[in-house]
């Protein structure tokens, strides 16, 4: 594949660019994932709460691509109404595997830390067993802040392979990226394109795009890749799916990177992990 891999802390290889399927209805997921696989994507990011693991799994099975060439991520939805135990974590994991039609996932994440609860510690202790057994090749977290990560590092056997966080030029997450670097945790960017909203018409981004003869989405993805982030852009439009992976034949220069760094204004598009309670 044309997509380079990064090596996670536990030695597992992960493609630096993958395909996200949040908000893709289950009935459309198979077509979108099939288009992505045909375009060369090998990493797919889904979650139990996206309710499209079955459609995603169908496309993976129909593709004929060898399992060890695919990288499948799903996530546990740790709703606060549940008091999580080893058994309930294993039940959620088994349900995801069965919907995906797989016997292992490459990466299993806890979707949110869940404000007001420290069940994430219990959940991650069970994730350690899943990693040990090989049913999850790597385990990690999503939407964790440094204080959550610090507790994980001191109170569980898990060193998260990945923290998947909201990250785009308007929310560059410098503090978290520095923390990750110190602890060998890979930074994975969700909503890498800023959900296709104002970011892609920002005059700085369109100017850099014009300079390189590329699209704004390609410039933003290049910025992530050159920072070392893993990215999982989402689209259901075949031309955009192909455009978003066609980013390995040009480079932003230092001036471009400086201009884009100036767009970091703390704009969050999703919930704040400090207060969000998954329900
Ligand atoms: P994104 O930043 O990938 O933007 C997707 C939107 O941008 C599309 O719906 C489309 O409107 C537009 N777009 C895509 N490609 C384009 C192109 N080439 N040109 C113009 N517009 C384009 O947003 P996202 O879907 O929120 O994030 C990507 C993935 O991250 C999700 O699908 C999901 O897998 C993951 N995610 C995870 C969490 C989490 O809590 N862990 C939260 C949100 C998203």
From 196, 199, 278, the mutation candidate for ligand 1 (largest count of ligand atoms within 8 A of CB) is 196
> How confident is the model over 63-72, as pLDDT tens digits?
999 999 999 9
Beta pairing, strands 186-190 & 230-231: parallel
Q: Could you give the percent of the chain with pLDDT greater than 90?
A: 99
Give the sign of the dihedral formed by CA 267, CA 174, CA 228, CA 213.
Answer: positive
Confidence of residue 108 (pLDDT cuts 50, 70, 90): very high
Beta pairing, strands 43-45 & 136-142: unpaired
How many angstroms separate the CA atoms of 165 and 176, rounded?
9
State the chain's maximal CA–CA distance in angstroms.
55
For the residues 141-154, what does the mean pLDDT come to?
98
Give the sign of the dihedral formed by CA 169, CA 158, CA 154, CA 114.
Answer: positive
Radius of gyration (Cα) for the chain, nearest Å?
Answer: 18
Q: Where are the alpha helices (DSSP H) in 193-253?
A: 203-212, 216-227, 238-245
For the residues 232-255, what does the mean pLDDT come to?
98
For the residues 227-247, what does the mean pLDDT come to?
98
Kind plus residue range of the DSSP H or E element containing 230: strand 230-231
Q: Is 75 exposed, middle or buried (0-12, 13-18, 19+ CB in 10 A)?
A: buried
Q: Which atom of ligand 1 is nearest to the CA of 164?
A: 41
User: What are the structure tokens assigned to 124, written together?
Assistant: 């991650």
pLDDT of residue 2: 84
> How confident is the model over 163-217, as pLDDT tens digits?
999 999 999 999 999 999 999 999 999 999 999 989 999 999 999 999 999 999 9
Could you tell me the distance, in angstroms and rounded to a whole number, from the CA of residue 22 to the centre of ligand 1?
Answer: 7
- Checking if the pLDDT of 8 tops 80, the result is yes
pTM of the model: 0.98
- Is the Cβ atom of 222 under 6 angstroms away from ligand 1? no
3-state secondary structure of 43: strand
Kind plus residue range of the DSSP H or E element containing 140: strand 136-142
pLDDT of residue 127: 98
- Is the Cβ atom of 128 under 6 angstroms away from ligand 1? no
pLDDT of residue 198: 94
Q: For the chain, give every domain's residue range.
A: 5-261
Contact call for residues 134 and 103 (beta carbons, < 8 A): no
pLDDT of residue 1: 61
Kind plus residue range of the DSSP H or E element containing 261: helix 254-261
Question: Taking all residues of the chain, what is their mean pLDDT, rounded to a whole number?
Answer: 98
So what's the architecture of 5-261 in CATH? Alpha-Beta Barrel (3.20)
Could you tell me the distance, in angstroms and rounded to a whole number, from the CA of residue 124 to the centre of ligand 1?
Answer: 26
Q: Could you give the percent of the chain with pLDDT greater than 70?
A: 100
For the residues 7-36, what does the mean pLDDT come to?
98
ipTM for the complex? 0.99
Could you tell me the distance, in angstroms and rounded to a whole number, from the CA of residue 257 to the centre of ligand 1?
Answer: 22
- Is the Cβ atom of 233 under 6 angstroms away from ligand 1? yes
How many angstroms separate the CA atoms of 77 and 64, rounded?
29
């Amino acid at each position: 594949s044309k997509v380079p891999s990064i090596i996670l802390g536990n030695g597992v290889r992960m493609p630096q660019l993958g395909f996200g399927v949040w908000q893709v209805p289950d009935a459309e997921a198979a077509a979108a994932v099939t288009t992505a696989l045909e375009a060369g994507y090998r990493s797919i990011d889904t979650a139990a709460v996206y309710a499209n693991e079955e459609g995603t799994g169908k496309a993976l099975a129909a593709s004929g691509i060898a399992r060890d060439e695919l990288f499948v991520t799903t996530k546990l939805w740790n709703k606060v109404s549940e008091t999580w135990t080893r058994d309930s974590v294993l039940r959620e994991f088994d349900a995801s595997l069965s919907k995906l039609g797989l016997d292992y996932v490459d990466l299993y994440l806890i979707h949110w830390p869940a404000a007001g609860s420290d069940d994430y510690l219990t959940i991650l202790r069970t994730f350690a067993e899943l990693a040990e057994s090989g049913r999850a090749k790597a385990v990690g977290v999503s939407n964790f802040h440094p204080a959550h990560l610090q507790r994980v590092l001191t109170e569980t056997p898990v060193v998260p392979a990945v923290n998947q966080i909201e990250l785009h030029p308007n929310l560059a997450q410098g503090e978290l990226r520095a923390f990750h670097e110190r602890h060998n945790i890979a930074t994975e960017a969700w909503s890498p394109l800023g959900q296709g909203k104002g970011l892609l018409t920002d005059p700085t981004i369109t100017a850099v795009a014009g300079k390189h003869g590329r699209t704004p989405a390609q410039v933003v993805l290049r910025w992530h890749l050159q920072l070392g982030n893993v990215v999982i852009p989402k689209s259901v439009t075949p031309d955009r799916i192909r455009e978003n992976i066609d980013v390995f034949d040009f480079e932003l220069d230092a001036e471009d990177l400086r201009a884009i760094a100036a767009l970091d204004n703390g704009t969050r598009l999703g919930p704040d992990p400090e207060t969000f309670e998954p329900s």
